[in-house]
Structure 1
Amino acid sequence: MRNYKRKTERGTTSKEVYESAGAEVLQNKMSIRSASEMFNLCPMSLSRYVRKNKNNESCLLGYVKPRLIFSQETEHELASYLLKRSEIYFGLLPIEVRKLAYQCAVKLNLKNIPPSWLKNNTNSALTIYNHYTWEFMVLLKTTLIEHRQPGCIILEKQEARKQSIRTRRKRKSAVLTDTPEKDSLKKSMKKNWPRPKNV
């Protein structure tokens, strides 16, 4: 799905609400179900949050992308660089952008680099599932740049400069001024013109 639109508000609750609900459960011994109704939370999410707080584990709220390679800041930096390149000239080709993304990932020592990137020295593995490439998705997310490949600008088809053969033939034999020769030519053409046969 290209541009997914959320249908629910689930997973968008702030951390402060979870902290206050967790404090009610842990300190005031309120039940998880009543605390979730009081703070308008999902009971399972609240119980998960309370359990992780008891075990002193790091608790991430909402939906998290676990296999994300670049952070949002790095993606924005990469997109602004591509925007600058496109203003100077045409920008980078899709293959060059993929190579640049691989080089950035290696230079920054990122943990989630897929093995296919290391094998091909590009991020080509992400482009198989769709016609649109990875860099197009990055630029769509950052909404900074319009993706286009370098090439000729196609203009609308122009009309032919030459006149058609019929009009050109007529123009050659036509006398353009009002003279007695022109009138005599018209009369002779009418006489010689074949008349339709009566049926």
Structure 2
Amino acid sequence: MLNMRNRKRTTERGKTPAHIMLRAAREVKLNNKSIRGAGTDYDIPERTLRRFLQKVTDEELYGTNELPTTAVGYIKNRQVFSDDQEKQLEEYILKAADVYFGLSPKQIRTFAYEWAVSLKIKFPDSWNTNKCAGQDWFTYFIKRHAGLSIRTPEATSLARASGFNKHSET
């Protein structure tokens, strides 16, 4: 079994909703309130509000729109493939299983590495060293795609495989 890491969130930092961040930013810019004071009023860390003020555009700040397009909080910085690419990888694994070519976890990790290299995506250095994706990547990939059930495939006998073939119905 893989060594799984389960991180428990200990604070709610980085979870401030975008509309509250915008309201606090407007207090600072329009009402000349201090960043520290607005952060205290809206329960936002000072550094977070300062960083948001550097990113937010004037149209967002002075417009009537309630939701800014500026990203707030933490981003997924450790995911190697985009959501679309992971969906394609999931479809490939399912298609391989449908044609009786089940992939083992090690084969999936090796394929993920080779695919990342061909797409010229940035990935951890350990992938280059091992020539395959890491166990942690695989664990979280399986968690994100619960429809996959990956285990070491068993060989399908030739008689059973040919029984599914349309030409053998004679």
TM-score (norm 2): 0.64
Residue 138 of structure 1 and its aligned partner are, at CA, apart by: 0.7
Counterpart residue type for residue 150 of structure 1: P
Structure 1 113/2 Cα, relative in aligned 2: closer, same or farther at 3 Å?
A: closer
Counterpart in the other structure of 1:100? 111
8 A contact 1:139–1:145 mirrored in 2:
yes
Structure 1 gaps of 5+ residues are 128-132, 153-199
Structure 1 114/44 Cα, relative in aligned 2: closer, same or farther at 3 Å?
A: closer
Query: Does residue 63 of the first structure (1) align with residue 68 of the second (2)?
Result: no
Looking at structure 1, the residues matched to 95 and 19 of structure 2 have their Cα atoms a distance apart, in angstroms, of: 39
Q: Percent identity?
A: 36
Structure 2 gaps of 5+ residues are 58-69, 156-170
8 A contact 1:98–1:135 mirrored in 2:
yes
Residue 115 of structure 1 and its aligned partner are, at CA, apart by: 4.3
Partner secondary structure for residue 34 of structure 1: helix
Query: Does residue 113 of the first structure (1) align with residue 102 of the second (2)?
Result: no
Counterpart residue type for residue 150 of structure 2: H
Query: Does residue 84 of the first structure (1) align with residue 87 of the second (2)?
Result: no
Counterpart in the other structure of 2:43? 40
Looking at structure 1, the residues matched to 113 and 102 of structure 2 have their Cα atoms a distance apart, in angstroms, of: 17
Looking at structure 1, the residues matched to 40 and 126 of structure 2 have their Cα atoms a distance apart, in angstroms, of: 47
8 A contact 1:79–1:138 mirrored in 2:
no
State how many pairs are aligned: 141
8 A contact 2:80–2:123 mirrored in 1:
yes
Counterpart in the other structure of 1:175? none
Matches of residues 90-169 of structure 1 in structure 2 within 5 Å? 91-110=102-121, 112-118=122-128, 122-124=131-133, 126-127=134-135, 134-151=137-154
Partner secondary structure for residue 151 of structure 1: coil
What's the Cα RMSD here?
3.0
Counterpart in the other structure of 2:11? 8
1:74-100: CA deviations, max 9, x gaps? 223312332333344252122321222
- After superposing on structure 2, the runs of 4+ consecutive aligned residues of structure 1 that deviate more than 6 Å are none
Looking at structure 1, the residues matched to 43 and 150 of structure 2 have their Cα atoms a distance apart, in angstroms, of: 42
Structure 1 38/115 Cα, relative in aligned 2: closer, same or farther at 3 Å?
A: closer
Counterpart residue type for residue 105 of structure 1: A
Higher gyration radius (CA): 1
